[in-house]
Chain A
Amino acid sequence: MMTSRPPKRMAIAIAAIAALRLMGAAPLFAADAASASRPDAERKAFQSFFFAKFPKVEKDDFGNGPYAVNAGMRKQWEEIMQFPPYDFALDEGQQAWEKPFANGRKYADCFENGGLGIRQTYPRFDAKTGQVETLDGAINRCRVENGEAPLAWETGTMASIIAYLAQTSRGKPFDISIPDDPRALAAYDRGKEFFYSRKGQLGFSCASCHVVASGERLRGDILAPALGILASFPIYRSDWGSMGTVSRRFTSCSAQTRAVPLADQDESYRDLEYFLSYMSNGIPITGPGTRP
């Protein structure tokens, strides 16, 4: 059984240590703001918490979310994957990606390597704006710079294009960098704070479900571990009946905890995506994915 886990007491102790290191370390090292070693140490603690909580799950499997930690769901998933429901989106995404803009330029002109095999390096810190830029943001920036209207963030063509790009990055481990810039470290810290802060009527933080209760049931669903949770995006959710981007997941997560969702690609969500992706460095991209 893949659901078995280490003795509960041990898991809690490790969680406590991880929480201490993640939350408590910030003020101690504040003077050392430009150093990238603190996020690095925090990432190691974060990852070892999940490796200890799920000792039977291979590191590379964390990108498969609930299917990595629940044998029953994995079996169903393997059946679904004989005919992945995101197949239509992949075709649509490739077509949209290759279609030139009205000015004759293409998406590929905006990205290194023509946009292929780069998904694992997003989101990035943009030194020009001093903010985090997601792949979604880069795609819409490319459109606007070429005189096209931006795409809607949550589903449709945006999701299809990212599905196509993610597929060209499959198997490539997350490779997010925090440059030597205090604003980058601040974005990471804000993302971390968002992740661990309780919000909404139900008083859940992201970590309540995706760290502490990861692998457990929430009604009919299995909560995915936070490690590698973004590796499979965009996803086709049977519940949605369509594709969804990280934006769609974040806003619906907020709503499910009865918090007021922020606007798509709000700076807080981008910081959160930056933090979560950095925490998953080394976990291979599995997207596009499918979820119940």
Chain B
Amino acid sequence: MPTIRMKAAANGDVVEVQALVQHPMDSGFVKDSAGNIISAHHIETLVFECNGKPVFSAFWGPAVSKDPYLKFAFKGAAKGDSISATWIDNFGKTDTGTAKIA
């Protein structure tokens, strides 16, 4: 199942992007019911690219919530262009999602 939900909408020359990323974002400070520490497991980098060019990047750590939601806007793209988002976590896992600008 894709871990990234994305919506991008152009309004004039500004494109507004919203994304919801499914990830446990464990901080490494929480114990499970048996009392063992749940090791830190969180996204480290998240990059959005439009037409192959990065438009937004984030460096995330253990303080970001589980299943994070993100919203930003940028200029220089048009309706129909495709936008992609890629995350890499501290376990080296990664996923990419794409959307068309509406």
B-binding residues in A (CB < 8 A): 82-83, 85, 87-88, 91-92, 95, 241
By size class, the interface of chain B is: 10 to 19
Which residues from chain B contact A87 at a C-beta distance below 8 Å? 5, 20
B18 touches A88 (CB 8 A): no
The residue in A82, A88, A92 that gathers the most chain B C-beta atoms within 10 A of its C-beta is: A88
A83 touches B67 (CB 8 A): no
State how many angstroms separate the Cβ of B60 from the closest Cβ of chain A. Answer: 17
A15 to B65, CA, bound (A): 42
Known: A83-B7, A95-B1. 11 other contacts (CB 8 A): A82-B7, A83-B69, A85-B20, A85-B69, A87-B20, A88-B1, A88-B5, A88-B22, A91-B1, A241-B65, A241-B66
Which residues from chain A contact B5 at a C-beta distance below 8 Å? 83, 87-88
A83 touches B20 (CB 8 A): yes
Which residues from chain B contact A241 at a C-beta distance below 8 Å? 65-67
Q: What is the chain A residue whose CB lies nearest that of B21?
A: A88
A82 to B65, CA, bound (A): 18
Q: In chain B, residues 62-76, which have Cβ atoms closer than 8 Å to a Cβ of chain A?
A: 65-67, 69
- Using known A-B contacts A91-B1, A92-B1, determine if residue A83 contacts B18 with beta carbons closer than 8 Å: yes
Number of A-B contacts (CB under 8 A): 24
State how many angstroms separate the Cβ of B18 from the closest Cβ of chain A. Answer: 6
A140 to B41, CA, bound (A): 33
B1-38 CB mask vs A (1 if < 8 Å, else 0) is: 10001010000000000111010000000000000000
Instruction: Report 20 cross-chain contacts, Cβ distance below 8 Å, ordered by A residue.
Output: A82-B7, A82-B18, A83-B7, A83-B18, A83-B20, A83-B69, A85-B67, A85-B69, A87-B5, A87-B20, A88-B1, A88-B5, A88-B20, A88-B22, A91-B1, A92-B1, A95-B1, A241-B65, A241-B66, A241-B67
A82 to B7, CA, bound (A): 9
State how many angstroms separate the Cβ of B86 from the closest Cβ of chain A. Answer: 19
Which residues from chain A contact B1 at a C-beta distance below 8 Å? 88, 91-92, 95
A83 to B20, CA, bound (A): 7
A87 to B4, CA, bound (A): 11
A95 to B65, CA, bound (A): 26
Q: What is the chain B residue whose CB lies nearest that of A88?
A: B22
State how many angstroms separate the Cβ of A28 from the closest Cβ of chain B. Answer: 50
Which residues from chain A contact B66 at a C-beta distance below 8 Å? 241
A91 to B5, CA, bound (A): 12
State how many angstroms separate the Cβ of A61 from the closest Cβ of chain B. Answer: 25
Q: What is the chain B residue whose CB lies nearest that of A84?
A: B20
State how many angstroms separate the Cβ of A101 from the closest Cβ of chain B. Answer: 21
A31 to B65, CA, bound (A): 57
Which residues from chain A contact B69 at a C-beta distance below 8 Å? 83, 85
